[in-house]
Structure 1
């Protein structure tokens, strides 16, 4: 899709659906990144000094710009990725929603917190915890959502008072330039910059930042963390997933089928929280499979307007998807829809429903990141839970049942960062809840209410006297009488009974 990035070189970006030119980009010389960061550091000091209320006004103006230029952004997004118009339409509204939430909550979330004294004799001290921004937050974003993934964390970092150094995927660099233009056009200060390129660019960003937010594969995330450890730079990693969906015997089968198809095929399956495998209780298995096939046969594949989902990002992703499908078929699975790469132009793969699958197949154990939906029949809830947890990944999951309490009980048995009950992917919209993975699906989380801002901050404790009385009274005061008095007081404190907690 692109030329191999070289220093001082430019590349032509092609639309994966049509092969047409989407635009050109000039790669950043990695040696130039320290200079870029130095400029960000100068601007960040003034940005922090504005305070939360001042920064909120800028973020609000940027959200307005995003809304006013939505059509322009989505047109370029479709050209750069081959998405359908339906899929492209999700990204800008998500950013506006996130910006709106932070604008309303950031002042309170970032306000200093007072803490009580741990012991009575420390009551003479006033304890306050301040949230100070990490100056430079490096954001390394993937190609599947070039708009949303680039700024869904960036907005939080900017709200916290940080400057952001954006590294978009070399496969989708064009929309990043447009988003930066919007930041400048909305009258914002120079606290946002872009580094374009591949591996060397990522390394330069990691080496120059004070915090790294990475979204991408588990293998690359491990390399980013290893690089960041050289300077003890903290990281937050949102990595791959193999998200399971469990359909219980009392589920609304039509609802579950609709959700499974949308959750698997949305954005051509190129979503970290896609439905990648389904476990269905045998009592409703046949009904569920029939409903899924019915829904899939109504899907329209193609880029732009009038289609439900578009192209994969390039031919290499098509090859991964087809490899998983052919591996399953060779081991006894059946493709009820799709199953073969089309012969026409573009990096497309048809929506493929697989049955008679098991965990010997790649489609059930490795991240596919394509429009496939493998469905496995199970006899008990315990079997469904065991199979769902039989994975190195643990990003999110879904459970369907008309009995919400029953579904909640099953959800708490699943080893993952989030579970949607009677829905899929919706946790991504809940900015008050943390979105993070367990196991090899990541470290840390995005969003989570106030924590979504505070993660980009360092905590600074200020301990100040409430009064001048007693200050310095114990400095080198080690007389025998004073020592006995101190020992007696500490013994009494150790023997104090805790207060009873009301039942």
Structure 2
């Protein structure tokens, strides 16, 4: 995910819409010196929150999910003002969070229940072995600007379910939505285990310095800095970073479906999605048909914030400049612009939906994360070439493969170096709450939400070994005579070798 430069912040700030320049609201920035005090308050409140147990916490999370649903219009209107999203893009965030919350409300008790582990050898069957999941007191979440609701709460919900307190640092470009989300938590009568730290780099550093676990979403370069700072205190991190997601269109694909998916996957949220379709590799025999279908779809798209637009504004001039630079670089190196290719005339940070062909890996649009409404399409001569080029990237977040033969598509999917592959679809893995969402290579470390690990990641494992019986307790303490030692070593070796000898046959 593309990072934006640090900005100097005064005590209060005015947030303006990137679509119109009008004032979206004001925010009071957090003094970094206050972060330790905020974290200490969370740490104190977390004890009672953990003590409620999964069932008690589930009731609170359920009330919060209901509040989100009942205030969806208010949240989405603020999203549009603050980010310049289209109404259809803004409409995606709250339902996703309610879906994630619903999953964890139903499954958190089972996910956090102590696990019984079998004895490794028969003579240890006198012991009862259990693994308990204990929450880390304070989880720091440093969230980006592209999805102010989803990217904050998809992590916060899991941490709160685990029994942690959450210190949320939203992007300094989208702080207003976070204020509303916190108000909702308070309106539900929830305990004070969710707090905000508003600001830029210095506040982020203070959050890392005062948390027990850090979830960061942002650029790969900033992710390295987050991990380095967390390493000073040996606290764990989970990083969801940049992406340059490939899409492969095989020669037996449903071309109309593939084209629709590519356009939506590339242009949704103005391309400002970590799992956007950022490059497409199409087999030569269907290349012209695919390109024609894509151009036809793209030419129907309308840019604009709120109602009536298919996608909205880029977040600011910096992000628009990245898109312009990538398109200019591609054109200078021989690429053709089939539609779009320029900033939309008039106010706001809008860029026309752009289709690029005759592209290759010498171009920035194929190798660097654009995070804008562009769709570069490359012709390939074979499936092997498509796989090689798709993997020729420092990133590995997700990918897509299109083919009418699902098994054939799967055989391609398992050769792609990334955290998730969608077959005959794009981005849909984000809705699969039972599966982990994470990237390989420079796209991240660990996974975000998904399955029981989406809760357990915020926990420490505590092993408790208890006796099943008092028989034999203490009988081997200090039995260190030569005869006893020889007898014990012989017995232990014989017992330990039972499994290997059986497996070796």
Q: TM-score, normalised by structure 2?
A: 0.97
Counterparts in 2 of 1:238-317, with a 5 A limit?
Answer: 238-317=240-319
Query: Alpha carbons of 1:2 and 1:196: their partners in 2 closer, same or farther (altered >3 Å)?
Result: farther
Pick one of 424, 438, 441 that aligns with 2:440: 438
Post-superposition CA distance 1:232-270 (Å, at most 9, x none):
010000000000000000000000000000000000000
Counterparts in 2 of 1:6-85, with a 5 A limit?
Answer: 6=9, 9-85=11-87
* Root-mean-square deviation over aligned CA pairs: 1.3
Post-superposition CA distance 1:416-453 (Å, at most 9, x none):
01100000000111111111111100000012310110
> CA separation in 1, counterparts of 2:75 and 2:360?
41
Deviation at 1:43, TM superposition (A): 0.5
Post-superposition CA distance 1:384-417 (Å, at most 9, x none):
0000000000000000000000000000110001
> CA separation in 1, counterparts of 2:14 and 2:496?
70
Post-superposition CA distance 1:361-405 (Å, at most 9, x none):
000000000000000000000000000000000000000000000
SS of aligned partner of 2:145? coil
> CA separation in 1, counterparts of 2:450 and 2:75?
27
Which residue is 1:214 aligned to?
216
Deviation at 1:340, TM superposition (A): 1.3
Contact 2:67/2:188, CA 8 A, preserved across alignment = yes
Q: Please, which runs of 5 or more residues in structure 2 have no aligned partner?
A: none
SS of aligned partner of 2:339? coil
Deviation at 1:2, TM superposition (A): 12
Post-superposition CA distance 1:121-150 (Å, at most 9, x none):
111111110000000000000000011101
Which residue is 1:329 aligned to?
331
Which residue is 2:340 aligned to?
338
Which residue is 2:161 aligned to?
159
Which residue is 1:407 aligned to?
409
Contact 2:6/2:201, CA 8 A, preserved across alignment = no
> CA separation in 2, counterparts of 1:494 and 1:236?
37
Deviation at 1:494, TM superposition (A): 4.1
> CA separation in 1, counterparts of 2:353 and 2:44?
50
> CA separation in 2, counterparts of 1:447 and 1:74?
23
Contact 1:3/1:12, CA 8 A, preserved across alignment = no
Contact 2:121/2:496, CA 8 A, preserved across alignment = no
Counterparts in 2 of 1:446-485, with a 5 A limit?
Answer: 446-485=448-487
Contact 1:336/1:354, CA 8 A, preserved across alignment = yes
Which residue is 1:226 aligned to?
228
Counterparts in 2 of 1:350-429, with a 5 A limit?
Answer: 350-429=352-431
> CA separation in 2, counterparts of 1:468 and 1:486?
20
Which residue is 1:129 aligned to?
131
Which residue is 2:93 aligned to?
91
Deviation at 1:62, TM superposition (A): 0.2
Deviation at 1:484, TM superposition (A): 2.1
Contact 2:339/2:354, CA 8 A, preserved across alignment = yes
> CA separation in 2, counterparts of 1:93 and 1:132?
29
Contact 1:279/1:384, CA 8 A, preserved across alignment = yes
Contact 1:5/1:197, CA 8 A, preserved across alignment = no
Number of paired residues? 500
